[in-house]
Chain A
Amino acid sequence: MVRRSTLLALLLVAACSKGPEADLAYIGQARSLAAEWALVNRQAAVGKLTDHYVTTMRQQLRQQLQTVSSALTQPDSRYGLEIHALLTQPDDADPEELRSHADKLKQIEDGLESA
């Protein structure tokens, strides 16, 4: 779950703006979650993590992504679709696939920040 304190702060900001600007923080969170998921799956694939740890981390990451996705003001945007595509991935998705989603979200994030 995305931190409620963060959501409160984000809502305050979102109250003043809508669209990509308001979603920027969520895009950053989704990018981080996708990259973390890739890291967990990469380490799990080489046997460096315990089963319980992998299962709980994947559950947490998916829940957080779902919360981010449902908080977007523009779910049909390019980043919204990217986050949706992430959520359709299986728990043990290919780390490279997950990382490519993270990279795409990073590009969108950077583009919006420099706009």
Chain B
Amino acid sequence: MNPLEITLGIMTAVGGFVDISELVFAAKAGSTFGYALIWVFLLATIGIMTFAEMSGRVAAVARQPVFNLMRHRLGLKLGLITLFASVVSTLITCAAEIGGVGLILHYLTGAPYLLMATLGVILLAASIWVLPFQWIERTYGLLGLLMITFAVALVAIHPPWDKIAAGMVPQVPPGLSTKELLSFGYFSVAIVSAVMFPYETYFYSSGGIEEEWGPKDLPNNRLNCTVGFGLGSLLAMAILASSAQLFGPALVSPETPGTSALEAAIPLGRTGLLLALLGMLMAIGGAAVETCMANAYSVAQFFGWEWGRHKKPWEAPRFTLAWMICFLLALAIVLTNVDVMSLVEYAVLFSIIVLPLTYLPLMLLAGDKTYMRQYANGPLAKTIGWLFFAIVTLAAIAAIPLYLLTSGGQG
């Protein structure tokens, strides 16, 4: 693979990293707890890097989709439970992303929100139908790089860099009341879930097969996961830090993506606002495409159907029908006029519960020498993998009690 392809891959990973949940929770976390939750973003980013690298490695070495291997490894019954749980959580996430697309188009045009959500789905579906896989990934990933506006905006407001750096050290702010501690716990769990959404690994590994990765692509896989996701995560941290600087002192607790866009407007004016909104549109639109396709990949791979965007849509009819149905169901959820931010919270809650079910089989597969030969997990990958498995399991157990005790982070 040439350097241009590698650079494009990394840039795509950067632009495609942020989605509506990260946007909302980063801004809320910053306004509520200042810089104290930056380390959770950092930690969760190492987690998603680890598992995405494993899923890419499985795709490159075993040359089989993760869900197919999962069925063989877990058996039909447990495999079906995992499939069902991941499809439901990803469908809710897809609905949240579509709602986000509708909202951003609403801010940009002033046209009715539900109409914009419907138009958004039509445009997103058309892009999947028309574009080959690599260009689907690149279009949203590269245009999502407009999110860099948030990093520029952060620099423009001259934030306290020392406090941002201090926020990268694991901590619980001193002097919090019990209520605030619970809220801090809830935000931590929500951030871990939003960064480590299960659909990301399904989409990533299926993409590896779409692009016909082999063992020679393993260094590129590692670069995409570490550098690309790492830089993408910095954008989310920039949103958190700007929020801590601008919204916390202003008594604002951001509830919608529209509020996050103010972070760019305040230092950069109308141009900043428009660039931020367009970046959010492409990043959230890209996440909607990824969630929808991840569901189609999972179902098609589990049942052994023809799948992939390297084929013409009619050459893999059940796969094509699956992603279309996913989009239609997600749109139907949005059209009930359910609040987008509720969808974001449900997506985060459901996903954190599904995370252990997703990552345990993946870790077992990546460590299985029958499939992976000399590319099986080494001691470092095993240690980090088990550590993060323990973290997501604890987060999954704590998620619902924390949600109820804090009224969804409201305190």
Report which A residues bind B (CB closer than 8 A): 1-6, 9-10, 12-13, 24-25, 28-29, 31-33, 35-36, 38-40, 43, 47-53, 55-57, 60, 64, 102-103, 106, 113
Contact = CB atoms under 8 A, between A and B. Distances in A.
A31 B251 contact: yes
Given A4-B342, A25-B407, A52-B107, A35 B265 contact: no
A39 B252 contact: yes
Nearest to B177: A113
Interface in B331-359: 338-339, 341-342, 345-346
A25 B262 CA distance: 24
B265 A6 contact: no
Given A6-B342, A28-B253, A53 B107 contact: yes
Interface stretch (B46-54, B69-77, B193-201, B266-274): B266-274
Contact of A3 (B179, B253, B269, B345): B345
A5 B342 contact: yes
A32 B253 contact: yes
Contacts of A33: 255
B269 A39 contact: no
A43 B262 contact: yes
B259 interface: yes
Interface in B47-100: none
Nearest to A105: B251
Interface residues of B, number: 38
Contacts of B251: 31-32, 35, 102-103, 106
B403 interface: yes
Contacts of B341: 3, 5-6
A52 B108 contact: yes
16 contacts: A1-B339, A3-B255, A5-B346, A6-B408, A9-B403, A9-B407, A10-B407, A10-B408, A12-B404, A28-B410, A28-B411, A36-B259, A39-B250, A48-B273, A53-B273, A57-B258
A101 B25 CA distance: 26
Given A32-B255, A43-B262, A6 B345 contact: yes
A107 to B, nearest CB: 11
Most chain B CB within a 10 A radius of its CB, from A4, A25, A29, A102: A4
B127 interface: no
Nearest to B403: A9
Contacts of A52: 107-110
A4 B338 contact: yes
A25 B109 contact: no
A97 B255 CA distance: 22
A53 B407 contact: no
A29 B224 CA distance: 40
Nearest to A11: B407
